[in-house]
């Protein structure tokens, strides 16, 4: 509004002081007049909120309503009328020469690591990484963009800059095409939402065996270099390539997320799965290697099936049961041990799509539950007001009407991996976002 010539006062709570100031600066008004209330606003009584307005702004110390009136009437200072283009620097191009220990400290203290030791990215190592792709080092994967929006959507990066992060994560050069394919899918790791949402990365195709990825016993644990380091690279890229992961600035996740260390990297066990692999579901050829990115809040384990002792264990019902406690706006990525997948076939689900459809139709809740869910009031109700379906129709139904938990069966996806030690599965509360060919980055 200020750019349109209208004086504007953004108000937010004290918890977001740094973010609000940095956002204003990045949007071209470093001296924007902002007002802060105590935190939080949600959950306060009417009287408490009225008191906020006549008490001091916890940041400036000035009574809030007086501050607002002053901010709307005080003449502008010279700083507040500055125009022009301000260039930004990402810091020095190199660090050192120094000892390995000192460089580890420098990288850690400057927020460029995940606080675990890195492989020091020397020029030699970066060059070795770059030899694993036919793409030129200065090829731009993402162009820096001016304007509003998440910081992660504004920074740019090249093939060479991705290579530096791949080295740091401990990737071997032959992993580099996978990391490049991931980088082509930005925004990258450490997205920064207050929900602490994280990522799951699914790898399909021949690359899994070429890189000795683990998709059998302990597939989700640290038992293979490719699984460990490729997953780690997503977070390092988010921190370094797009300036993510700065608590209070570009990262606001309330509790954070353990998944951010490895981003739940999953190589699908295509050999032992009774169904076509995930990338083939998307329309890729079986012989193509593909990376897919999922995003959402968490990962939880489903201990077996419903109906213990029954002739056919009812894994479909257990999956549906677990889905009812997910955050509805995010989808479900069920990670099934091959034993579970085979038993689901025994139940009659000869395709993943049939299973998705069953879970979609049989996972329901009341309109009242939906309306009272965390996301509904501020995220989905505005969409309903715009006439966006199905939310617009759901908001017109009586409170006791039953509605699907998910918006569509396509929000429910399945991948297979595990050592067949027990018929267990896990569910990531995540939506499929983007997928990319790895082959084109070789």
Partner 1 sequence: MNRRQLLSLLGISPALLATPAAEADRKKKEAPSSAGEGKLTAVSPKGTPPPIQLYSMAPRASSLDGKTIYVVDATSFLGSATLLHKMQAWFQQNMPSVKTVFRTKAGIYGADDPKLWAEIKANAYACIMAIGH
* 40 belongs to the binding site for partner 1 (CB under 8 A): yes
* 81 belongs to the binding site for partner 1 (CB under 8 A): yes
Q: Which is nearer to partner 1, 46 or 287 (by Cβ)?
A: 46
* 387 belongs to the binding site for partner 1 (CB under 8 A): no
* 68 belongs to the binding site for partner 1 (CB under 8 A): yes
Q: Give dist(CA 233, CA 293) in Å, integer.
A: 13
Q: Which stretch binds partner 1 (CB under 8 A): 115-123, 196-204, 219-227, 406-414?
A: 115-123
Residues 144-183 that bind partner 1 (CB under 8 A): 144-146, 149, 154-158, 161, 164-165, 168
Q: Give dist(CA 285, CA 224) in Å, integer.
A: 26
Q: Which residue of 37, 197, 257, 262 would you call a contact of partner 1, by CB under 8 A?
A: 37
* 217 belongs to the binding site for partner 1 (CB under 8 A): no
Q: Which stretch binds partner 1 (CB under 8 A): 27-35, 222-230, 339-347, 400-408?
A: 27-35
Q: Which residue of 18, 53, 136, 312 would you call a contact of partner 1, by CB under 8 A?
A: 53
Residues 349-378 that bind partner 1 (CB under 8 A): 377-378
* 2 belongs to the binding site for partner 1 (CB under 8 A): yes
Burial status of residue 16 (CB atoms within 10 A of its CB: 0-12, 13-18, 19 or more): middle
Binding mask 257-296 for partner 1 (x = CB under 8 A): ----------------------------------------
Q: Give dist(CA 244, CA 150) in Å, integer.
A: 9
And the tokens for 385?
């007001």
- How far CA 274 is from CA of 270, 301, 344, 403, 415, in Å, comes to 8, 21, 9, 31, 11
DSSP 123: H
With CB under 8 A as the rule, give the number of residues binding partner 1. Answer: 105
Q: Which residue of 128, 327, 383, 442 would you call a contact of partner 1, by CB under 8 A?
A: 383
* 392 belongs to the binding site for partner 1 (CB under 8 A): no
Would you say how long the chain is, in residues?
Answer: 442
Judge whether 305 and 343 are in contact, CB under 8 Å: yes
Give the nearest distance from C-beta 326 to partner 1 in angstroms. Answer: 19
Q: Which residue of 67, 114, 121, 269 would you call a contact of partner 1, by CB under 8 A?
A: 121
Terminal-residue alpha carbon distance, the chain: 47
Residues whose CB is less than 8 angstroms from the CB of residue 7 and which lie 6 or more positions away in sequence, other chains included: 1, 71, 72
* 255 belongs to the binding site for partner 1 (CB under 8 A): no
Closest CA to 328 of 225, 412, 416: 412
- Considering only the C-alpha atoms of the chain, give the largest distance between any 2 of them, rounded to a whole number of Å: 79
* 89 belongs to the binding site for partner 1 (CB under 8 A): yes
And the tokens for 47?
């009287």
């Amino acid at each position: 509004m200020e750019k349109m010539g209208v004086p504007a006062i953004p108000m937010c709570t004290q918890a977001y002081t740094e973010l609000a100031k940095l956002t204003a600066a990045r949007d071209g008004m470093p001296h924007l007049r902002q007002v802060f209330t105590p935190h939080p606003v949600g959950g306060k009584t009417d009287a408490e909120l009225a008191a906020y307005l006549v008490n001091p702004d916890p940041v400036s110390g000035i009574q809030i309503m007086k501050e607002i009136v002053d901010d709307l009437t005080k003449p502008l200072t010279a700083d507040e009328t500055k125009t022009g283009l301000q260039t930004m620097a990402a810091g020095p191009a190199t660090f050192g020469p120094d000892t390995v220990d000192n460089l580890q400290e420098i990288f850690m203290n400057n927020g460029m690591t995940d606080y675990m030791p890195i492989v020091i990215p020397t020029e030699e190592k970066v060059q070795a990484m770059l030899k694993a792709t036919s793409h030129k080092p200065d090829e731009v994967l993402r162009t820096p963009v001016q304007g509003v929006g998440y910081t992660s959507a504004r920074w740019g990066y090249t093939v060479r800059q991705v290579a530096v992060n791949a080295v740091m994560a401990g990737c071997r050069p032959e992993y580099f095409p996978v990391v490049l394919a991931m980088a082509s899918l930005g925004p990258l790791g450490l997205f920064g939402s207050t929900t602490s949402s994280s990522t799951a990365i699914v790898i399909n195709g021949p690359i899994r065996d070429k890189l000795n990825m683990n998709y059998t016993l302990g597939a989700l644990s640290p038992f293979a270099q490719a699984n460990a380091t490729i997953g780690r690279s997503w977070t390092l890229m988010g921190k370094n390539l797009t300036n993510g992961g700065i608590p209070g600035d570009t990262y606001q996740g309330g509790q954070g997320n353990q998944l951010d260390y490895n981003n739940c990297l999953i190589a699908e066990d295509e050999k032992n799965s009774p169904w076509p692999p995930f990338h083939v579901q998307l329309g890729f050829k079986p012989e193509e290697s593909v990376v897919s990115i999922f995003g959402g809040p968490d990962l939880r384990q489903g201990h077996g099936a419903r109906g213990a002792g029954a002739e056919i264990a009812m894994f479909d019902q257990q999956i549906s049961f677990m889905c009812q406690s997910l955050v509805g706006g995010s989808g479900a990525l069920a990670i099934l041990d091959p034993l579970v997948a085979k038993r689901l076939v025994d139940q009659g689900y000869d395709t993943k799509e049939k299973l998705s459809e069953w879970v979609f139709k049989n996972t329901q809740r009341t309109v009242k539950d939906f309306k009272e869910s965390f996301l509904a009031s501020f995220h989905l109700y505005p969409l309903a007001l715009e006439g966006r379906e199905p939310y617009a129709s759901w908001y017109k139904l009586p409170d006791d009407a039953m509605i699907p938990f998910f918006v569509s069966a396509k929000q429910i996806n399945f991948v297979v991996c595990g050592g067949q030690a027990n018929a267990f599965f896990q569910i990531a509360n995540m939506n499929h976002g983007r997928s990319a060919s790895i082959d084109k980055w070789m």
